[in-house]
């Protein structure tokens, strides 16, 4: 079946602009995660959704970052007033259960964000 | 704070040689352990995972890993590598009782040469 998809695959923007990154999880997966991978680093957790609600947003770096999942499926990561330091690959993952179950997370190909 | 350390950032090996990619973690609570592989221009793919039971875990493409609780390690091994194994490998930890966010190491780039 279809895996996790992310759009766009690449996004170039100017400092100060607003961007939206989209994630389509695997159908039926209740949990959705956003991670950020900077150059030479492993992915770092940003936020986790269980259904429509953000169960853990402790990884969001500041209030310029926000994410929604209004219908419990597609999620959008929103970044306001982008800064050059926001340049990274943004990864989305989904899993069937989430929560405290040691569930396999399936990752999308990522969106490469470049802030000029 | 919990962390994952991958001791080697790059590992070059010749084709058909054995390889071990090292991973250590620090945690005072129970953990679940994962290895993911990232091929060039592709997303992360699960290689194998340890949840409970036998400490020796077998994964896809002939890889295996052994969970060692006393040494807090989860090293990845393959007895004979192929050119196609060239990729970046990430070790990750899921803390018991956490909300599900993985903690990743910085990755190890495996380069297999003919």
- Average pLDDT in chain B: 92
pLDDT higher than 80, residue B61:
yes
How close is the nearest chain A Cα to the Cα of B94, in Å? 7
Whether the predicted pLDDT of B10 surpasses 60: yes
Contact A100 B100 (CB under 8 A): yes
Instruction: Answer whether residue A2 shows pLDDT above 90.
Output: no
Q: What pLDDT does residue B2 have? A: 74
Neighboring chain A residues of B47 at a CB cutoff of 8 Å: none
Contacting residues of B for A29, CB less than 8 Å apart: none
> CA nearest A5: which of A97, A98, A94?
A94
CA distance to partner chain B, nearest, from residue A78 (Å): 20
The pLDDT of residue B17 is above 80: yes
Which of A89, A99, A87 has the alpha carbon at shortest distance from A23?
A89
Is B100 at the interface with chain A, CB within 8 A? yes
CA nearest to B49 within chain A: A104
Is the separation of the CB atoms in A78 and A19 below 8 Å?
yes
**Predicted local confidence at residue B29, as pLDDT:** 77
Which chain A residues touch B49 with a CB distance below 8 Å?
Answer: 102, 104
């Amino acid at each position: 079946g279809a895996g996790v998809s992310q759009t766009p695959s690449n996004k170039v923007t100017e400092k100060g602009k607003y961007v939206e990154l989209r994630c389509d999880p695997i159908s039926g997966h209740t949990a959705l995660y956003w991670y950020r991978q900077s150059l030479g680093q492993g992915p770092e957790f940003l936020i986790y959704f269980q259904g429509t609600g953000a169960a853990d947003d402790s990884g969001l770096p500041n209030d310029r970052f926000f994410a929604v999942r209004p219908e419990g499926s597609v999620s959008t990561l929103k970044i306001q007033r982008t800064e050059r330091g926001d340049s990274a690959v943004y990864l989305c993952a989904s899993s069937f259960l989430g929560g405290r179950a040691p569930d396999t997370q399936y990752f999308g190909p990522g969106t490469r964000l470049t802030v000029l | 704070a919990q962390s994952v350390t991958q001791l080697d950032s790059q590992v070059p090996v010749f084709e058909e040689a054995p390889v071990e990619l090292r991973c250590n973690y620090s945690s005072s609570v129970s953990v679940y352990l994962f290895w993911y592989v990232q091929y060039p221009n592709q997303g992360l793919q699960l290689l194998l995972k340890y949840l409970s039971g036998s400490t020796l875990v077998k994964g896809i493409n002939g890889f295996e890993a052994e969970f060692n609780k006393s040494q807090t390690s989860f090293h990845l091994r393959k007895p004979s590598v192929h050119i196609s194994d060239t990729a970046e490998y990430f070790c990750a930890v899921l803390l018991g009782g956490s909300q599900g966010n993985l903690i990743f190491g910085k990755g190890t780039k495996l380069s297999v040469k003919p």
